[in-house]
Amino acid sequence: MPCSGVPGSLFEPGLPVHGTNTGNGNMKAKVYVTLKKSVLDPQGKAVQHALSTLGFKEVEDVRVGKYIELDLGAVEKSKAESKIKTMCEKLLANTVIEDFKYELN
């Protein structure tokens, strides 16, 4: 897997957090994309500074990322996992500088 893990994540990169069907036969995917820990995050630093300015001095670090929801329709869990992983590696995440994790519901 080209990912090294989402910073602060308890989950393996690129692997589903959980996988259950929604009951109506449709699979939904939630994809979380963040910069790798080794990559500087200027947007996160700006948010951290703004929070500090607002009095939230306890915030030590901020990492900004993307959250993407996909409706996959009626598809088997194993096929959905494979497709989501491929989507992330090819388009949704730049695996050189970003990590991803996903949930299937």
The CATH number covering residue 69 comes to 3.30.1280.10
Dump pLDDT digits (tens) for 40-79: 999 999 999 999 999 999 999 999 999 999 999 999 999 9
Enclosing domain of residue 87: 16-39+65-104
22 located within any domain: yes
pTM of the entire predicted model: 0.73
10 located within any domain: no
34 located within any domain: yes
- The span from the CA of 26 to the CA of 85, in Å, is 18
Dump pLDDT digits (tens) for 81-102: 999 999 999 999 999 999 999 9
Q: Number of structural domains, the chain?
A: 1
In the chain, which ranges are continuous DSSP H helix? 42-53, 77-87
86 located within any domain: yes
103: nearest Cα among 27, 26, 2: 27
44 located within any domain: no
**Under DSSP, is residue 45 helix (H, G, I), strand (E, B) or coil?**
helix
84 located within any domain: yes
